[in-house]
Homo-oligomer: A and B are copies of this chain.
Amino acid sequence: MAQIVECVPNFSEGRKKEVVEDIASAVREVDGVRILDVEMDASHNRAVLTFIGEPAVVQEAAFRSVAKAVELIDLNLHEGEHPRIGAADVIPFIPISNISMEECVRLAHELGERIWKELEVPVYFYAEAALKPERRLLPKIRKGEFEALKKEMGVRPERAPEVGEPRIHPTAGATVVGARGPLIAYNVNLRTDDLDLAKRIAKGIRASSGGFPEIQAKGFRLEDRGLVQVSMNLLNFRVTAIPRVFEAIREEAEAAGIPIESSEVVGLIPLDALLDCAEHYLQLQEFSRGQILERRLWE
List A residues at the B interface (Cβ < 8 Å). 2, 4, 6, 34, 36, 52-53, 96-97, 182, 189, 242-243, 246, 260-265, 267-271, 274-275, 277-278, 281-287, 291-294, 296-298
Taking the closest CB of chain B, its distance from the CB of A282, in whole angstroms, is 5
Contacting pair A262 B285 (CB below 8 A): yes
The 9 closest A-B pairs by CB, nearest first: A262-B285, A277-B278, A34-B296, A281-B281, A274-B278, A268-B293, A262-B283, A270-B293, A263-B282
Given contacts A4-B294, A270-B293, A278-B278, 18 further A-B contacts (CB under 8 A): A6-B293, A34-B297, A36-B293, A52-B294, A53-B297, A242-B282, A246-B281, A246-B282, A263-B284, A264-B285, A265-B287, A268-B292, A268-B293, A270-B294, A271-B293, A275-B278, A281-B281, A297-B298
Q: How far is the CA of A293 from the CA of B183 in the complex (A)?
A: 11
10 A-B pairs with C-beta separation under 8 A = A6-B293, A52-B294, A52-B297, A97-B294, A243-B281, A246-B282, A260-B283, A265-B291, A269-B293, A270-B292
Q: Which of A242, A246, A285 lies at the interface centre, i.e. has the most chain B CB atoms within 10 A of its CB?
A: A285
Q: How far is the CA of A267 from the CA of B6 in the complex (A)?
A: 30
Q: Which B residues are in CB contact (< 8 Å) with A281?
A: 243, 246, 277, 281
| CB nearest to A276 among chain B residues | B278
Taking the closest CB of chain B, its distance from the CB of A229, in whole angstroms, is 12
Q: How far is the CA of A228 from the CA of B36 in the complex (A)?
A: 47
Q: Which B residues are in CB contact (< 8 Å) with A264?
A: 284-287
**Could you say which of B4, B246, B283, B291 contacts A297, with CB atoms under 8 Å apart?**
B4
Given contacts A278-B278, A285-B263, contact A52 B293 (CB under 8 A): yes
Q: Which B residues are in CB contact (< 8 Å) with A294?
A: 4, 52, 96-97, 270-271, 298
Contacting pair B271 A277 (CB below 8 A): no
Q: Which B residues are in CB contact (< 8 Å) with A277?
A: 277-278, 281-282
Taking the closest CB of chain B, its distance from the CB of A50, in whole angstroms, is 9
Q: How far is the CA of A292 from the CA of B292 in the complex (A)?
A: 15
